[in-house]
């Protein structure tokens, strides 16, 4: 539109010039007529071009304004009138400052009267975003660019291009809000608002680094509530939750400024105390917290009181990791409970012997992996849309010689510390491929088999070669093999430069399926998700558990499902333990579920009988339905 106005101004200037020329010319009349003819042809051509620009501006989707330098509107296009909800006659001759801003942003008359555009202002050299108001009072976000043009008569005008970007801004805000919730959930406990284990270890590592630099010590207190189970059993989980919130508040107000309080388990808390000079300071803090935790909570016409056992550990010059200090505090906590609870125990050399016992456990685990005595159990996944089993996930178990069957949480951390996690994962992978081959051979083809791949396995030099060889030797379709990697594996802005990123990309390019496991606990980032070479996500059990009772969990689950569906990613919900949760997930569009609601993980020998019985029951049900 700026070109149109300028073209018209140029035409007027040219016409004036021709008139002056005719008056002043004293030469040949024929030469003057020839010049006049050429000028007339130029005018006709410019008028046609101006008409083209006028039509483009009239039909543009973006709003366009021509303003004088004092802000007065000379001409608005129809799109601007539609955006503002005003007729052209109500806009021309006015400054938008008079009608386009919300009441709280409206300037006074003097400001409007004194307004002048400054072409040298750097703000006018970039897009600007303003909250504007339509004629009906509704607010919207207006994105504006400003340029300046000088006409042939030397007068300067401002040309504004406006766009209603409200939907985009609101969508981005929803994503940011969901991102903030995920980031908070990744580092905090949603019930109490305290830091979680991840944040605890991060802050603890920082404190230990500072302690080494400043020649101080870092203390750690591991707190366990002694009578919490009785409160839960007697008064219900609602009372128990209120006690946890109550204790969290007591701990936060009972520590020093700079100390960190975290919740690391159901009724377990940890306090990080940096900058200590001696053990006596840590012991004094622990004793004070013992007293504070006993403060009763008045709930539902009752006084609820619990006690606490505390394990205390002070860093030494050799303590370099917060996880090590936490283990020491944990050993001390067990000692406090052994001594009779409601007391403080301090980690020392005697408790170190218990740590040696843990090392013996590690040796037993190493031997179990070396001799392939770990067991693999398989948990099924159900496709809600078909009612059929979609596949199985392989889960490693350790049958200890004296303690019986042990779940992965009790020994995988030890395997990681020993550097033998990849060996455990390779064993699970091999058993998974054998189970897949067995299912195909027994007439249950088409089912997906999934196994977990730790970072150690992804970095194993022969991982991909062993996987491809195992699949080809057994005649398995690669697209029916899923590798589950933890969401925390893909954290960080420079993740794409890591070795595991290349392995994940190679897996996807080789035809295998890759999904993010425990999604929602580490926050890979909803917006970041689109750039990852994965086929889907498994929503973490902690989100699934709370989605019916915790509005935040429900919103996060919905946001994950909606975004994954928009991106074409598969979604699996793990840890589904009730029909109500299953129904809710199905209504949100998550159609593949896994959890105790369907079946517990089962030994290899029980998979085929269970699957056959399940399919037989499905067939009978389908037969009754068709009859």
DSSP assignment of 32-63 equals: HHHHHHHHHHHHHHHHHHHHHHHHHHHT-SSE
Residues 69, 157 contacting (CB under 8 angstroms): yes
- Among left, alpha and beta (phi > 0; psi -120 to 50; other), residue 316 is beta
* 68 in the same domain as 42: no
Reference 398, options 440, 448, 364; nearest CA is 364
* 109 in the same domain as 19: no
pLDDT of residue 89: 92
Question: Which of 291, 312, 347 is the last residue in one of the domains?
Answer: 347
562 exposure class (CB count in 10 Å sphere: 0-12, 13-18, 19+): middle
Least confident of 53-57, 63-67, 109-113, 450-454: 53-57
The tokens describing 242, both together, are: 């209120």
Residues 539, 519 contacting (CB under 8 angstroms): yes
* 51 in the same domain as 70: no
* 326 in the same domain as 275: yes
- From residue 591, how far is each of 379, 532, 554, 601 by CA, in Å? 17, 22, 16, 20
The residues, ordered by sequence, that sit 6+ positions from 4 with a Cβ below 8 Å of its Cβ are 50, 53, 54, 57
582 exposure class (CB count in 10 Å sphere: 0-12, 13-18, 19+): buried
CA separation for the pair 10, 12 (Å, rounded): 5
Question: Does a structural domain hold residue 624?
Answer: no
Reference 91, options 117, 110, 109, 71; nearest CA is 71
Q: Can you list the alpha helix ranges (DSSP code H) found in 255-306?
A: 279-293
Residue 260 reports pLDDT greater than 60: yes
Question: Does a structural domain hold residue 169?
Answer: no
Residue 539 reports pLDDT greater than 70: yes
* 575 in the same domain as 532: yes
* 484 in the same domain as 517: yes
* 235 in the same domain as 370: no
Place of tokens 């009785």: 230
Question: Which of 11, 26, 59 is the last residue in one of the domains?
Answer: 59
pLDDT of residue 53: 58
What percent of the chain has a predicted confidence (pLDDT) above 90?
Answer: 53
pLDDT of residue 20: 36
pTM of the predicted structure, to 2 decimals = 0.49
Residue 15 reports pLDDT greater than 70: no
Question: Does a structural domain hold residue 623?
Answer: no
* 221 in the same domain as 127: no
Confidence of residue 1 (pLDDT cuts 50, 70, 90): very low
Residue 35: give the domain boundaries.
1-59
* 579 in the same domain as 560: yes
Question: Does a structural domain hold residue 353?
Answer: no
Distance of CA 144 to the CA centre of its chain: 31
Question: Does a structural domain hold residue 579?
Answer: yes
* 21 in the same domain as 150: no
465 exposure class (CB count in 10 Å sphere: 0-12, 13-18, 19+): exposed
User: What are the DSSP calls for 427-460, one per residue?
Assistant: HHHHHHHHHHHHHHHTT-TT-EEEEE--HHHHT-
- For residue 81, the domain's CATH number is 3.30.450.20
Bridge partner list, 448: 391
Between these two residues, 600 and 185, which has the higher pLDDT value?
600
Reference 163, options 104, 83, 217, 95; nearest CA is 83
* 598 in the same domain as 461: yes
Q: Work out the average pLDDT over 506-525.
A: 82
Question: Does a structural domain hold residue 619?
Answer: no
* 75 in the same domain as 38: no
Question: Which of 313, 347, 381 is the last residue in one of the domains?
Answer: 347
Question: Does a structural domain hold residue 243?
Answer: yes
461-509 pLDDT, tens digit each: 999 999 999 999 999 999 999 999 987 776 655 667 778 888 999 999 9
231 exposure class (CB count in 10 Å sphere: 0-12, 13-18, 19+): buried
Question: Does a structural domain hold residue 174?
Answer: no
pLDDT of residue 520: 76
Domain count for the chain, please give it: 4
Pairing between strand 570-574 and 536-539?
parallel
Classify the C-alpha dihedral 463-468-473-477 as positive or negative. Answer: positive
Residue 187 reports pLDDT greater than 60: yes
69-88 pLDDT, tens digit each: 999 999 999 999 999 999 99
Least confident of 104-118, 135-149, 403-417, 449-463: 403-417
Bridge partner list, 312: 221, 346
Distance of CA 618 to the CA centre of its chain: 38
Bridge partner list, 513: 482
pLDDT of residue 54: 64
């Amino acid at each position: 539109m700026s070109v149109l106005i300028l073209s018209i101004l140029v035409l007027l200037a040219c016409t004036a010039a021709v008139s002056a020329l005719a008056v002043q010319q004293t030469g040949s009349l024929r030469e003057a007529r020839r010049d006049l003819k050429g000028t007339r042809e130029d005018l006709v051509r410019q008028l046609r071009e101006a008409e083209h620009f006028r039509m483009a501006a009239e039909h543009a989707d973006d709003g366009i304004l021509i303003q004088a330098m004092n802000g007065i509107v000379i001409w608005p296009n129809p799109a601007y009138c539609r955006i503002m909800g005003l007729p052209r006659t109500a806009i021309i001759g006015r400054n938008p400052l008079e009608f386009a801003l919300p009441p709280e942003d409206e300037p006074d008359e003097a400001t409007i009267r004194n307004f002048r555009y400054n072409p040298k202002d750097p703000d006018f050299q970039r897009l600007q975003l303003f909250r504007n108001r339509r004629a009906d009072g509704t607010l919207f976000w207006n994105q504006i660019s400003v340029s300046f043009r000088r006409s042939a008569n030397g007068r300067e005008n401002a040309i504004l291009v406006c766009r209603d970007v409200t939907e985009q801004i609101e969508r981005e805000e929803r994503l940011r809000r969901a991102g903030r919730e995920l980031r908070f959930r990744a580092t905090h406990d949603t019930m109490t608002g305290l830091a979680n284990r991840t944040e605890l270890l991060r802050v603890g590592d920082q404190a230990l680094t500072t302690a080494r630099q400043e020649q101080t010590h870092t203390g750690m207190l591991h707190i366990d509530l002694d009578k919490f189970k009785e409160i839960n059993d007697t008064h219900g989980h609602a009372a128990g939750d209120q006690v946890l919130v109550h204790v969290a508040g007591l701990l936060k107000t009972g520590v020093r400024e700079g100390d960190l309080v975290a919740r690391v388990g159901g009724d377990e808390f940890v306090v990080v105390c940096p900058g200590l000079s001696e053990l006596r300071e840590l012991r004094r803090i622990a004793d004070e917290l013992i007293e504070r935790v006993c403060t009763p909570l008045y709930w539902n016409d009752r006084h609820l009181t619990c006690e606490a056992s505390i394990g205390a550990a002070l860093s030494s010059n050799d303590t370099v990791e917060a996880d090590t200090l936490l283990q020491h505090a944990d050993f001390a906590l067990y000692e406090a409970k052994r001594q009779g609870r409601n007391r403080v125990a301090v980690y020392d050399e005697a408790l170190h012997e218990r740590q040696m016992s843990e090392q013996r456990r590690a040796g037993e685990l190493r031997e179990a992996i070396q001799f392939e005595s770990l067991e693999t159990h398989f948990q099924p996944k159900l496709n809600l849309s078909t009612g059929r089993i979609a596949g199985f996930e392989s889960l490693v178990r350790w049958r200890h010689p004296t303690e019986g069957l042990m779940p992965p949480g009790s020994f995988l951390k030890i395997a990681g510390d020993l550097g033998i996690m990849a060996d455990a994962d390779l064993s699970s992978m091999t058993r998974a491929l054998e189970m897949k081959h067995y299912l195909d051979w027994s007439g249950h083809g088409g089912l997906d088999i999934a196994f977990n791949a730790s970072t150690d396995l992804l970095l194993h030099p022969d991982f991909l070669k062993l996987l491809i060889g195992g699949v080809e030797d057994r005649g398995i379709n690669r697209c029916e093999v899923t590798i589950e990697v933890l969401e925390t594996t893909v954290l960080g802005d420079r993740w794409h430069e890591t070795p595991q990123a290349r392995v994940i990309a190679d897996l996807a390019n080789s035809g295998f399926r890759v999904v993010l496991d425990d999604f929602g606990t580490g926050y890979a980032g909803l917006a970041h998700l689109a750039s990852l070479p994965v086929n889907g996500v498994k929503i973490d059990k902690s989100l699934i558990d709370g989605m019916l009772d915790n509005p935040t969990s429900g919103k996060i689950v919905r946001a994950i499902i909606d975004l994954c569906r928009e991106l074409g990613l598969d979604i699996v919900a793990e840890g589904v333990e009730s029909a109500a949760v299953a129904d809710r997930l199905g209504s949100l569009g998550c159609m593949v579920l896994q959890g105790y609601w369907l079946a517990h993980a089962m030994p290899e020998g029980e998979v085929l009988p269970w699957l056959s019985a399940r399919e037989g029951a499905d067939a009978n049900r389908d037969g009754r339905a068709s009859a």
